[in-house]
Amino acid sequence: MKREIKLYLDDLLESICLIEDYVNGIDEITFEENSQIQDSVIRRLEVIGEAVKHLPDDVKEKYPRIPWKEIAGLRDVLTHEYFGVSIPRVWKVIIDDLPKLKEQIENVLKENS
């Protein structure tokens, strides 16, 4: 695996781990009431989306079970419609999508190390 591809995947994984740290021990209500945590999580989701956009198509094609397009699309929603961000939707991404994505990215890195 090219070094630059690994760096993007590492950025993805690091951002997921940071989000996990930010929300560790809190529930959805606390998340909805804490704009500082929201801002931190949203920024990391933007980093995840940006990293995905920089991955070459051949990497994305090799791992079609990872929802690359949706990940990149989330970044666009967060960046271009900031005032319309649905905090409950962000929480759902954190709880439902990030654990699976973390596992998938870890597997990609293991397969290519």
Catalytic residue among 3, 43, 44, 75: 75
Tokens of 100: 């699976």
75 assigned to active site: yes
Residue 20 neighbours by CB under 8 Å, 6+ apart: 98, 102
Considering only CA atoms, which of 20, 67, 68, 63 is closest in space to residue 44?
Answer: 20
Let me know: does 80 contact 20? Beta carbons within 8 Å.
no
Q: Which residue reads 């929300």 in tokens?
A: 23
**Catalytic sites, residue numbers:** 75
